[in-house]
Chains A and B, each alone.
Chain A
Amino acid sequence: MKAIYMLLVSLVIVLISVVWIIVTPEPAGVAGAAHPVVPGMRVACDGAARYEAVMYPAFFLQVGVLAAMTSLLLLPFQEGERMRGMFNRLVLVFVLSAAVWIGITQTYEQFLQSSRAPEDLLYVAGFPLPSALAVYGVWAVGLLLTFFYVFGFGRFVYTARDRESFEALVEDMRQEGGG
């Protein structure tokens, strides 16, 4: 399937999830409430109630978003060696980012189902595990993309043949302009 159709399908999945969320009745305090003591600060109210109301559409929404990002990143790599090389790498990025997302939701749901006592929480690099995954996991997968770009630049992004073709184009344009 061409990347543009994959992108369209992913975006439609996101849109369907949005409609699903919009028609789901909102629990009280869905976007939090003012802190009872500290002005200018907000609290979350009943986090479990608002999460459980939309946990399925929110899950599919984010999977659709990650698939859309992967499809979009595939758009410039549509033929031959470029396509094969980048396809595998971008599928890896999708799998890892989906794994991080599943990790966030699973560990968060475990927290909601637990006694929610502070001693039940595992802290990783300063944050509770679900938050550590959100802070470090998302960033780490993004860094992997940068790694693929930097080290695949000459092979996939701007090859020696691209450089020759571009220099030929610049020369042609110069001659057209001069002629």
Chain B
Amino acid sequence: MEELRQPIILGSVLFYMVLCIGIGLWAMRKTKSAGDFFVAGRSLGPIVVGLAVFSSSLSGFGFVGGPGLVYSTGLSSVWMSTVTAFGFAIGFFLIAKRIRMIAEVRDTLSLPDIVAARYNSELARGLTGVTILLGVMGYMATQILAMAMVLKALLAATPMFADISLVTCAVISTSVLIFYSVTGGIIASVYTDLVQGSIMIVAGVLVVVTAATVLDGGMTEVSQTIFADDPEAIMPFGTVGVVGVLSWFFLFGFGLAGQPHIITKMMMNRRIEDNKIILPMSMLGYAVAVLLWVSVGLVMRAVVVGDMLTPLEAADQAAPVFLSQYAHPLLAGIVFAGLFAAIMSTADAFLNIGAAAVVHDIPKAVRGMAMKAELASARWATVIISLIATGFALYAHYGSGQLVALLGAFGWGTFAAAIVPIVVIGLNWKRATRPAAITAIIFSLVINLAFQLFGWSLPYAMHPGFLALLVSMILFIIVSLATPREEIAKDIDRIMDL
């Protein structure tokens, strides 16, 4: 079986890509309007939405960056993963029902539509659209680069493809992504998410079982081996320290509910009652993925510091090396397909909201109407965003990585700081005002960009996104209280009473 490892891995990834193309072709026949393209006509069942929420919230970071972070910093990153239990709950307690109601009453296609309806403000719509577009470009570039690098690493292990270039790998993987995203829009995206989420759960369970058996004494021996090298690495705050991990806890706990690709999925379920199935489904999927993230990272740290394996060239190799050293070839095949699944599911979600910002939100804010032939324009916008993001990704690799790193780091924190106050608080507090919403968005953009551009850092490894979100929330409440009460549209007012 071992000699078949490489063909099995390549076969699994190829099968997965063909499946995505097939889903794209199937979804193309169901996509007849911009509403189908952006929000799947609000017709999806709870299992599809649940798996789509979970898989699009966990990018390649969960399968590659997460284990790498545990390998590098010990248990520190546990604080950004376990808090997602609170993050998902905040999203569903506070906004899932209201977002779905507004989507039905106002026939909204995007998060900026919701913001415009709540604050009766085109400026708020436009600023939200611009924020999303800036964040999407960074995210997309990092995801495309990750896909290309993983594909290159996989193909390079086969003599026939040993000299394949990164550009070729970027072209292959982006072509698959563009194909199903353009043909099938969000319908293809959520049904590939269904496949992707299922693969991620199966792969996660199998990897955790494998990880627990690498050392004879199981996870306790893993912990003891790490303890013998550096006790703090296996203690609750890891090598980052208490303040750094608490800042992650805050940012990821509150910030998850402010991620536009997740909020947009809350518009897509057929019935509001489905939310009580979607929340536990998303939680279950994420819990399994987190177990993978933590267990693989810890096992790899233990075997390296315990002199059972030579040190990795880079922390991000923790998961790939684990698979090549300890996983059965069939499991390695499933997990590598799962890795592509994790990256693509996030990338397609961002492509969709980016296209909505370009053809729907920003034109509506500027000239009062969306682009003509919205469905065709959305497909073109999807292609153009993908191509620009691929250009950014390759520029980052061969030229300066600063731009992509800047936009990628800018994305998550800015989404959290800009969107949590205006949407999560704003949809539950009638006293929230338009000036407060605009202040929160502008503050978030400026403070996050400033930290990235000037390379500022905070003491005790505090995450800048934490400070931006904290101050943005406080500013939003204080500015709302300090400005005159505003009238809310009658339908939105009635929804906020429910």
Contact = CB atoms under 8 A, between A and B. Distances in A.
Nearest to B477: A8
Contacts of A125: 219
B428 A32 contact: no
Interface string B419-456: 00000110011010000000000000000000000000
Contacts of B461: 30-31
B225 to A, nearest CB: 10
A32 B231 CA distance: 13
B246 interface: yes
B243 A43 contact: no
B78 A145 contact: no
A134 B75 contact: yes
Interface in A1-42: 4, 7-8, 11-12, 14-15, 18, 21-22, 24, 26, 30-32, 35, 37-42
Contacts of B238: 44
Interface string B121-140: 00000000000000000000
A41 B101 contact: no
Interface residues of A, number: 75
Query: Max chain A CB contacts within 10 Å: which of B239, B242, B459, B461?
Result: B242
Contact of B235 (A21, A131, A173): A131
Main SS of chain A's interface residues? helix
Interface string B228-266: 111111111111111110100110011000000000000
A39 B495 contact: no
B276 interface: yes
Contacts of B240: 31-32
Contacts of A47: 231-232, 235, 237, 241
Contacts, number: 246
B301 interface: yes
A41 B243 contact: no
A141 to B, nearest CB: 8
B303 to A, nearest CB: 11
Interface of B: 71-75, 78-79, 82-86, 88-90, 92-94, 97, 101, 104-105, 212, 218-220, 222-224, 227-244, 246, 249-250, 253-254, 272-273, 275-276, 279-280, 283, 287, 294, 301, 304-305, 311-315, 424-425, 428-429, 431, 458-462, 467, 470-471, 473-474, 477-478, 491, 494-495, 497-498
13 contacts: A30-B461, A40-B312, A44-B241, A51-B241, A72-B94, A75-B425, A126-B219, A131-B234, A131-B236, A149-B93, A157-B93, A157-B275, A158-B273
Interface of A: 4, 7-8, 11-12, 14-15, 18, 21-22, 24, 26, 30-32, 35, 37-44, 47, 50-51, 54-55, 58, 61-62, 65, 68-69, 72-73, 75-76, 104, 108, 111, 116, 118, 121, 123, 125-128, 130-131, 133-135, 138-139, 141-143, 145-146, 149-150, 153, 157-158, 162-163, 165-166, 169-170, 172-173
